[in-house]
Amino acid sequence: MYGPRLARWDKAAEWPLTIAAILFLIAYATQIIARPDGLLSVACELLLYVTWAVFVIDYLTRLVITESRWRWFYRHLLDLAIVVLPMLRPLRLMRFLTVLALIGRNTGNMLRGRVVIYTVGATVLTVLIASLAVFDAERGIGDIKTFPDAIWWAFVTITTVGYGDFYPITLTGRITAVGLMIGGLALIGVVTATLASWIVERVADQNTKTVHATEEQVEQLRLEISELKDLVRGLRPAG
């Protein structure tokens, strides 16, 4: 849509971006869960900046090489926010959606199969990211004191069960929770819609033994009639 150069860049940047995103998650998770001191802490911090730089370069390159720059800019404001707001840690993790989009693009042909893979991937990632963000925000303040508790809380929330044994009390924690809840609604929606599409199709297969007439068949009929006309026209001089 934005020119062939952008398409080439998409292909070239795929793997570097995936690796950068994985490294970012590792560094971020290590920093939050293990709270490292000394050298490891510096390494994590460095990794966070390096991966951030990769995403900044990717964003700027796209902005430069696109054909309709302003249109691209307006349609990718979220990408900008993810890149220029590195201080807001949880939002920084939204970069992972890029990776998911890559996974989605690379898996097979069948739409429904792709929806299932994308849904499982997005759910696991969302639970992981939300657990990290909530654990980071609530530790030492709320009830969520260990990382396994945070993961458990994330599952209880995304499935909209909501026991209430753990719940966030900080603003960051609650914003993360709302994001997770909306993710939960989307999850219910995707599960149901995929099943509905499957059932509707199977029931249709069962009922419709008859096959509808197609454009092609009618076209063939027209050809037959044309031939017939020529035959009749051929009769005239003979008549």
Determine if 238 is a binding residue for a second copy (CB under 8 A): yes
CA distances from 142 to 9, 60, 179, 191, 210 (A): 45, 40, 19, 32, 63
Q: Which of residues 194-223 bind a second copy (CB under 8 A)?
A: 194-203, 206-207, 210-222
Contact between 168 and 174 under an 8 Å Cβ cutoff? The reply is yes
Nearest approach in angstroms of CB 164 to a second copy is 4
Contact between 138 and 170 under an 8 Å Cβ cutoff? The reply is yes
Nearest approach in angstroms of CB 153 to a second copy is 10
Instruction: Give the residue among 124, 140, 127, 143 at the shortest CA–CA distance from 176.
Output: 127
Q: Which of residues 121-150 bind a second copy (CB under 8 A)?
A: 148
Task: Pick one of 42, 111, 124, 141: the residue that binds a second copy (CB under 8 A).
Answer: 111
Task: Pick one of 41, 97, 152, 172: the residue that binds a second copy (CB under 8 A).
Answer: 152
Query: How many residues sit close enough to a second copy to count as binding (CB under 8 A)?
Result: 72
Residue 49: CB partners within 8 Å, gap ≥ 6?
A: none
Nearest approach in angstroms of CB 13 to a second copy is 27
Task: Pick one of 38, 159, 172, 176: the residue that binds a second copy (CB under 8 A).
Answer: 159
Q: Which of residues 167-196 bind a second copy (CB under 8 A)?
A: 167, 171, 174, 177-178, 181-182, 184-196
For residue 123 the two structure tokens come to: 């759910």
By C-beta, is 37 or 207 nearer to a second copy?
Answer: 207
Determine if 233 is a binding residue for a second copy (CB under 8 A): yes
Phi, psi of 156 (to 5 degrees): -60, -30
Determine if 162 is a binding residue for a second copy (CB under 8 A): yes
- One-letter amino acid at 13 equals A
By C-beta, is 75 or 222 nearer to a second copy?
Answer: 222
CA distances from 105 to 5, 14, 91, 191, 239 (A): 19, 11, 23, 20, 67
Nearest approach in angstroms of CB 76 to a second copy is 19
